[in-house]
């Protein structure tokens, strides 16, 4: 284990605001000493004498006056068997800004230092309790938007992704060792190394990286959601659709065209997939300043969209405004949603098909709640071509995706060098690069500033 930090850090680990309970956490070599300075156990025992993983009831006091500040439970977790690998003392206090802040201040007055965001997790990483991919997954667990998202994040936290990466790294390393031995002892036979198997071994490494990389699109969708933008001319029922999917009157709906003027974003859970649904201002030629800005914002959101729901009003037929909308979304995955089928139609199925030949068409009536289940299914299958098993390890983070792409490039170079019959030195250079890129994911071969950046994204107290 690496050298432990000398200072002891502390932070409030629960959200601020009135609550039943709040937790102040402290980690470091003086944690138990500092705890004893301000904690008075009901049974008079000192925390120093406490066994590992025990809970103690008593009061936090101001040691200068012995005035009681809060009634608490204290949890002791001793190094190295704690989250950070250091001594940890956790105070289960009453929630609420004032008591929590007071306990924090007392800990700082008595020798602890305010923790930086993510510093507990960073220490866990530096002390070898978690690798980098596992540490990053803590944020994913906290931020997961659906149960499936949580399953995937938990697979990362429990090390399933890391063990896949490590297995890959071992294969690269073994090949590297064999090639280096073959370079150093060209005359000798090297145990476990057959030239005839070289091509297959390189290819297997490439394939494994490729397979993992192929999961990143779905992985990101589970983590960040499918960005689905609802567009259409005014009054076709975009905000009504948002409200229906949300099962909540979130957006204002009126029969006045141009009701929605800004962009509204909400998350819904669609069969375990987070759908980030975005209602936009109706698009039409307009002189109204506010509406114009709304349309501009719609354009910006469209750039980022994973999927577009283009809405039509069956009672109105296809108008110039509809075609203007369509021009904005060309090239995106689009589902054409024809709404208000409860009204007398001014639009036949053939006509819609003719205008939008390459898109899926769905007919709905929000008013009569018809066709909505079909729409939900269509959204999922439009984005996912195949079903996803939650046991599968998916790549969810751009950082991992980038590292895998670089590793793949390096393995391609290894393969090309092999095919060209270049000396083994050419292969080993790129194999090392491949190894290093894989190691960036788990953190062995990553730069300090990247580590800084990763942990600074954490919330305070984590």
Map residues 320-339 to x or -, x wherever contact with ligand GTP holds by CB under 6 A.
Answer: -------------------x
Alpha helix segments (H runs only) across 225-371: 238-246, 289-303, 320-329, 349-355
Give the residue closest to Mg ion by C-beta. 260
Using rule CB under 6 A, residue 258 touches ligand GTP: yes
* DSSP string over 281-295: PPP-----HHHHHHH
| CB neighbours of residue 286 within 10 Å | 17
Instruction: Report the alpha-carbon distance of residue 419 to residue 415 in Å, rounded.
Output: 6
Between 239 and 396, name the residue whose CB sits nearer to Mg ion.
239
Site for Mg ion in 228-267 (CB under 5 A): 238-239, 259-260
Between 152 and 241, name the residue whose CB sits nearer to ligand GTP.
241
- For 256, the token pair is 């006045």
Between 95 and 257, name the residue whose CB sits nearer to Mg ion.
257
Q: Which does 339 bind (CB under 5 to 8 A by kind): ligand GTP, Mg ion, none?
A: ligand GTP
Using rule CB under 6 A, residue 255 touches ligand GTP: yes
Using rule CB under 6 A, residue 366 touches ligand GTP: yes
Which of 28, 35, 225, 232 forms a contact with ligand GTP (CB under 6 A)?
232
* DSSP string over 185-227: -TTSPPTT--GGGHHHHHHHHHHHHHHHHTTHHHHHHHHH-EE
Map residues 305-344 to x or -, x wherever contact with Mg ion holds by CB under 5 A.
Answer: ----------------------------------------
Give the residue closest to ligand GTP by C-beta. 282
- Angle, alpha carbons 291-292-294 (nearest 5°): 65
Instruction: Report the alpha-carbon distance of residue 143 to residue 165 in Å, rounded.
Output: 23
Map residues 113-152 to x or -, x wherever contact with Mg ion holds by CB under 5 A.
Answer: ----------------------------------------
Q: Decide if 254 contacts 432 (C-beta within 8 A).
A: no
Q: Decide if 96 contacts 18 (C-beta within 8 A).
A: yes
Q: Which stretch binds ligand GTP (CB under 6 A): 219-227, 340-348, 353-361, 412-420?
A: 340-348
Q: Decide if 263 contacts 297 (C-beta within 8 A).
A: yes
Between 202 and 325, name the residue whose CB sits nearer to Mg ion.
325
Upstream peptide bond of 80 is cis (omega within 30 degrees of 0): yes
- For 374, the token pair is 């079909």
- Angle of helix 160-184 relative to helix 424-442, nearest 10 degrees, comes to 160
Which of 33, 92, 266, 342 forms a contact with ligand GTP (CB under 6 A)?
342
Using rule CB under 5 A, residue 280 touches Mg ion: no
Q: Decide if 135 contacts 453 (C-beta within 8 A).
A: no
Using rule CB under 6 A, residue 228 touches ligand GTP: no
Instruction: Report the alpha-carbon distance of residue 4 to residue 83 in Å, rounded.
Output: 13
Q: Decide if 120 contacts 9 (C-beta within 8 A).
A: yes
Which of 85, 225, 282, 443 forms a contact with ligand GTP (CB under 6 A)?
282
Which of 208, 215, 260, 396 forms a contact with ligand GTP (CB under 6 A)?
260
Between 216 and 260, name the residue whose CB sits nearer to Mg ion.
260
Using rule CB under 6 A, residue 253 touches ligand GTP: yes
What is the DSSP secondary structure assignment for residue 69, as one 8-state letter? E
Q: Which does 50 bind (CB under 5 to 8 A by kind): ligand GTP, Mg ion, none?
A: none
Binding positions for ligand GTP, rule: CB under 6 A = 232, 234-240, 253-255, 257-260, 282, 339-340, 342-343, 365-367
């Amino acid at each position: 284990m690496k050298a432990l930090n000398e200072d002891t850090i502390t932070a409030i680990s629960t959200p601020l605001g009135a609550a039943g309970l709040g937790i102040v956490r402290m980690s470091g070599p003086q944690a138990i000493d500092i705890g004893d300075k301000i904690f008075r156990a009901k049974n008079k025992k000192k925390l120093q004498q406490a066994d590992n993983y025990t809970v103690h009831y008593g009061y936090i006091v101001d040691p200068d006056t012995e005035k009681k500040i809060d009634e608490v439970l204290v949890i002791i977790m001793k190094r190295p068997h704690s989250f950070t690998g250091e001594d940890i003392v956790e105070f289960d206090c009453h929630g609420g800004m004032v008591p929590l802040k007071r306990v924090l201040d007392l800990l700082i007055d008595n020798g602890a230092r305010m923790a930086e965001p993510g510093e507990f997790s960073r220490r866990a990483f530096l002390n070898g309790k978690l690798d980098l991919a596992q540490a990053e997954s803590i944020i994913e667990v906290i931020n997961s938007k659906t149960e499936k998202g949580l399953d995937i994040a938990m697979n990362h936290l429990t090390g399933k992704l890391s063990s896949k990466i490590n297995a890959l790294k071992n294969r690269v390393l073994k090949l590297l060792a064999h090639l280096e031995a073959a370079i150093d002892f060209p005359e000798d036979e090297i145990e476990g190394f057959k030239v005839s198997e070289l091509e297959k071994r390189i290819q297997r490494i490439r394939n494994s990286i490729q397979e993992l990389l192929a999961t990143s699109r779905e992985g990101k969708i589970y983590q960040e959601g499918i960005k689905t933008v609802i567009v259409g001319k005014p009054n076709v029922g975009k905000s009504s659709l948002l409200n229906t999917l949300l099962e909540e009157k979130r957006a204002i709906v009126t029969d006045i065209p141009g009701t929605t003027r800004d962009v509204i974003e909400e998350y819904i859970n669609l069969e375990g997939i987070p759908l980030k649904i975005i209602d936009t201002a109706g698009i039409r030629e307009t002189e109204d300043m506010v509406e114009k800005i709304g349309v501009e914002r719609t354009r910006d959101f469209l750039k980022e969209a994973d999927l577009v729901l283009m809405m039509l009003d069956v009672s109105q037929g296809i108008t110039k405004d509809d075609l203007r909308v369509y021009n904005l979304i060309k090239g995106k995955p689009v589902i054409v949603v024809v709404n208000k089928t409860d009204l007398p139609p001014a639009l036949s199925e053939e006509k819609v098909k003719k205008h939008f030949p390459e898109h899926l068409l769905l007919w709905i009536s929000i008013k009569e709640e018809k066709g909505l289940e079909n729409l939900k299914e269509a959204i999922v299958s439009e984005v996912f071509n195949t079903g996803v098993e939650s046991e599968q390890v998916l790549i969810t983070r751009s950082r991992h995706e980038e590292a895998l792409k670089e590793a793949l490039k390096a393995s391609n170079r290894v393969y090309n060098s092999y095919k060209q019959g270049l000396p083994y030195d050419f292969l080993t250079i790129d194999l090392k690069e491949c190894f290093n890129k894989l190691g960036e994911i788990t953190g062995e071969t990553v730069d300090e500033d990247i580590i800084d950046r990763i942990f600074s994204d954490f919330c305070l107290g984590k």
